[in-house]
Chains A and B, each alone.
Chain A
Amino acid sequence: MMGESGTGESGFLADTALAIVAAVPVTLALFVACAVGASLLAGVLVAAQQGRVGGLVARAWIFVFRGTPLLLQIFMVYYGLAALGPVRHGPLWPAFRDPLFCAFLAMTCCCSAYIAEVLRAALAAIPPGQIEAARACGMARWTLGRRIVVPQMVRLALPAYGNELVMMLKSTSLASSVTVLDVTGVAQQVIAHSYRTVEVFCLAAAVYLGLTAALTWLLRRIERRLDPAGGR
């Protein structure tokens, strides 16, 4: 395809592609860690919302992290916390000095707020009659949660939850703003040396497209698996 442009051109593109693909593990690791962390945290937030005090805390959390830009949150964790003495001299400083960890922390907090809202909506959408049917046969609270509420919540939440995951995957690119060398970070590095903005960003975009396509495919498979009747 690039034959006419000579070996220099195709060599540059090949090298860039390799460098960008080599950064995929960083992007994926950040995404998976955030997805797991944010989902667990969201579960805690929803559980907390069932109580009065917990509900206030959870609502404040969601208000703050959904109401401010993720980029600012990443800056705050990476630059802001580093300025605080107790953090700088505390035992966790090695972690807070690491930009990848800071990006993970900020993204986990931010995404947990969105996922908590998705879960809360799913919880509210469970048909009350089905919970009543479980209570009527003497199912204990814990069993009811595990066998009826959570499975229904997961099914109801899945489409919107999948959406959040796709957004989260793309948001990992913000980590490059605090020097993380993920796919976007590496792309920026190459551009800084080569000034070939369009080609390099197109390559990076293609990598994200591939990743989100794989993720959507996986989500659709899970959705179909959980509800075979819905797929037909």
Chain B
Amino acid sequence: MTETRPTVLRARGITKRFGDREVLRGIDLDAARGDVVSILGGSGSGKSTFLRCLNLLELPDAGTIEIAGSPAPLAHDARGRARIANPRALNALRAKTAMVFQNFNLWSHMTVIDNIAAAPVHVHGMARAEAVARAHDLLDKVGMTGFAGHWPRQLSGGQQQRVAIARALATDPDLMLFDEPTSALDPERVREVLDLMRALAGEGRTMLIVTHEMAFARDVSSHVVHVRDGVIESMGPPALMFGPDASPVFRGFLSPP
């Protein structure tokens, strides 16, 4: 990673247990501004859990997280259970991130334009008129001009995901988290979302992307991370990870015997 770009994410020793099952077993990951990190791994390896730990949708049992200079307000009670030390700091931290979900999760009671303007207005305190104007620009950007007044359920999956990406961009986040953004889409709709994400990567957005789209990971990422059984099995630039010198385990994951 380059020395000059500021660090956006610093995660150390992220550990997460569900009951007796240790799903994350100490994950360290850094990202500098403009990095596009693809997270690959088998089903149940802990990719989603890791992503959700970063914005504290899940509370890691151990480890530290720092996003754009702010440490995650994690504390542990007497029994060692994780808890939020400061709700205000938690929301401030989350406000620096944005998440794009597999199932879009647009707010179904809001029109497209309100979905995009909601966080700027209700989290960042932006004036509504300004937020709406910016939301229109974002709609143009994601190729959804003219859909401002539509309701989420009137849109196709690909269209909903593009709106969800516009919603994520609306707060100009330091770090964008994508959890399998194309996995719920028809094959012919996957392209439109991947093309948009490719454009974002080109603009220097810092993105962590859990995906099964190998070609996308190879072409767009600055780093590829292979998660297996709750640890990072191997990681590196795509040229290495998709080349002959990649770890045999990862090669086995890419092309199972």
Q: Do A and B come from one complex?
A: yes
B122 contacts A133, C-beta separation under 8 Å: no
Mask, A187-225, CB within 8 Å of B = 1, is 000000000000000000000000000000000000000
Mask, A147-180, CB within 8 Å of B = 1, is 1100110010000000000000000000000000
Q: A130-B108, A152-B109, A227-B109 are in contact. Are A137 and B95 (CB under 8 A)?
A: yes
| Residue total for A at the interface (Cβ-Cβ under 8 A) | 23
Mask, B135-163, CB within 8 Å of A = 1, is 00000000000000011011000000000
A132 contacts B94, C-beta separation under 8 Å: no
Q: How far is the CB of B187 from chain A (nearest CB, A)?
A: 23
Give chain B residues whose Cβ lies under 8 Å from the Cβ of A130. 105-108
Taking CB atoms and an 8 Å cut-off, the chain B residues in 189-211 that contact chain A are none
Mask, B120-140, CB within 8 Å of A = 1, is 001100000000000000000
Q: How far is the CB of A55 from chain B (nearest CB, A)?
A: 22
Pick the contact of A133 from B90, B91, B105, B151 — CB < 8 Å? B105
Chain B residues touching A, majority SS: mixed
Stretch from A6-14, A17-25, A42-50, A138-146 contacting the other chain: A138-146
Is B98 an interface residue when CB atoms closer than 8 A count as contact? yes
A143 contacts B107, C-beta separation under 8 Å: no
Kindly state the separation between the CA atoms of A130 and B87 in the bound complex, as whole angstroms: 20
A137 contacts B98, C-beta separation under 8 Å: yes
B119 contacts A139, C-beta separation under 8 Å: yes
Taking CB atoms and an 8 Å cut-off, the chain B residues in 41-59 that contact chain A are 55, 57
Contact-residue bracket for chain B: 20 to 34
Q: A132-B105, A138-B93, A143-B123 are in contact. Are A229 and B154 (CB under 8 A)?
A: yes
Pick the contact of A132 from B57, B97, B123, B151 — CB < 8 Å? B57
Pick the contact of A127 from B90, B99, B105 — CB < 8 Å? B105
Q: How far is the CB of A130 from chain B (nearest CB, A)?
A: 5
Pick the most buried of A133, A134, A152: most chain B CB atoms within 10 A of its CB: A133
A133 contacts B99, C-beta separation under 8 Å: yes
Is B101 an interface residue when CB atoms closer than 8 A count as contact? yes
Q: How far is the CB of A111 from chain B (nearest CB, A)?
A: 25
A133 contacts B101, C-beta separation under 8 Å: yes
Which partner residue on chain B sits nearest A140 by CB separation?
Answer: B91
B103 contacts A138, C-beta separation under 8 Å: no
B154 contacts A138, C-beta separation under 8 Å: no
B123 contacts A138, C-beta separation under 8 Å: yes
B119 contacts A138, C-beta separation under 8 Å: yes
A136 contacts B97, C-beta separation under 8 Å: yes
A127 contacts B108, C-beta separation under 8 Å: yes
Give chain A residues whose Cβ lies under 8 Å from the Cβ of B119. 137-139
Mask, A30-70, CB within 8 Å of B = 1, is 00000000000000000000000000000000000000000
A residues whose Cβ falls under 8 Å from a Cβ of B: 127, 129-130, 132-141, 143, 147-148, 151-152, 155, 226-229
Residue contacts A-B, CB under 8 angstroms, 15 given: A129-B101, A134-B107, A135-B57, A136-B99, A137-B123, A137-B171, A138-B94, A140-B88, A143-B123, A147-B118, A147-B122, A148-B107, A152-B107, A152-B109, A155-B109
